[in-house]
Amino acid sequence: MSKFAIIGGTGLTQLEGLTIRNAEMLDTPYGATSSAVLHGMYAGREVLFLARHGHPHRIAPHQVNYRANLWALRHAGADKVISVNAVGSIASDLETGHFCVPDQIIDYTWGREHTLFEGDLQHVTHVDFSYPYDANLRKRLSAAIAVHGYSCKYHGVYGCTQGPRLETVAEIKRMERDGCDIVGMTGMPEAALARELGLSYASLALVVNPAAGKSDGVITMAQIDAAIKTGMDKVKSILARVLTA
C-alpha cells in the first residue's frame, strides 16, 4: 500500500490533527534532516510528516538539507510526497490565498547540494526530468481543491530562487518573460531529488503575496504571515481529502 509523506513548508512546521506514533531522527548518508520524520495517522491514514525548515521554523531555504530530507522519507517507507510551498504570484490570475498545482519548474538557485549522483560513482546517472511533477498526484491534489471550491490554477511554472531575500522587480520581470507563474525558494532541488529517488512528487503551492512589482506597495512579512495563517487551514483540508479519496 502506498505511503504518503508530507513536507511542510513555511507556516506548516507541524500538522495539526496528526496522531504521532513515532518521531524518528534518521542518520542519513547526507547528514541531518531538518527535523524528525514523524510517523502517524492523519485523516485515518498512515502518513509521514517532515518540517522542511525545522520546528520551530529556523532553517533558511538555501540551507535546507534537501538530500537528507528526501532520503530519510524514502528510507522511512514513503513512495508519494506532497510538498507544501508558500509562494508569490507572478501570473495575473493568481491572487493571495489562491492555490497553484504547478506542472513545470525553472531552477534559479545556485550552490545547493542538488543531486545524489556525485562523488565516487560506478557510472554517471541521468534522470529524465522533462515533467518534474507526478501527473497522478497532481490530479489528486487538483480534485481535492476542486471539491472544496478553492480558487486554483491547475497548472503553472514554479520559478525557484535562491533566497532568503525576496526578489527585485527586474528579477520578477525576467521570470515572467521566462514563463513563470509563481515564485518560491524551496521547489529545487527537492523535486529533482525526489525523481532521483523514484518518489512520486507534487507541489501544493499557496500564494501568500504578490511578487515584487505586482502590487502598489512593498511586500511585508505581516501580510505574508496573515495569508499563511488563513491559508493553512485550507491546506490541511486539501491534504485530508487527498489521503481519504
- Was 168 annotated as part of a binding site? no
Q: Which of 85, 94, 82 is nearest to 154 (CA)?
A: 94
- Was 53 annotated as part of a binding site? yes
Sign of dihedral through CA atoms 190, 195, 201, 205?
A: positive
Query: In whole angstroms, what is the distance from residue 188 CA to residue 160 CA?
Result: 6
Specify the length of the chain in residues: 245
Residue spans of alpha helices (H) in 98-181: 135-148, 169-178
Residue type, 62: H
- Was 185 annotated as part of a binding site? yes
- Was 52 annotated as part of a binding site? yes
Question: What letter does residue 205 receive in the DSSP assignment?
Answer: E
- Was 195 annotated as part of a binding site? no
The 3-state DSSP composition of the chain as helix, strand, coil percent (nearest 5) reads: 30, 25, 45
- Was 109 annotated as part of a binding site? no
Q: Which residues are annotated as a binding site for substrate?
A: 185, 209-211
Q: Which residues are annotated as a binding site for phosphate?
A: 10, 52-53, 186
Q: Which residues are annotated as a binding site?
A: 10, 52-53, 185-186, 209-211
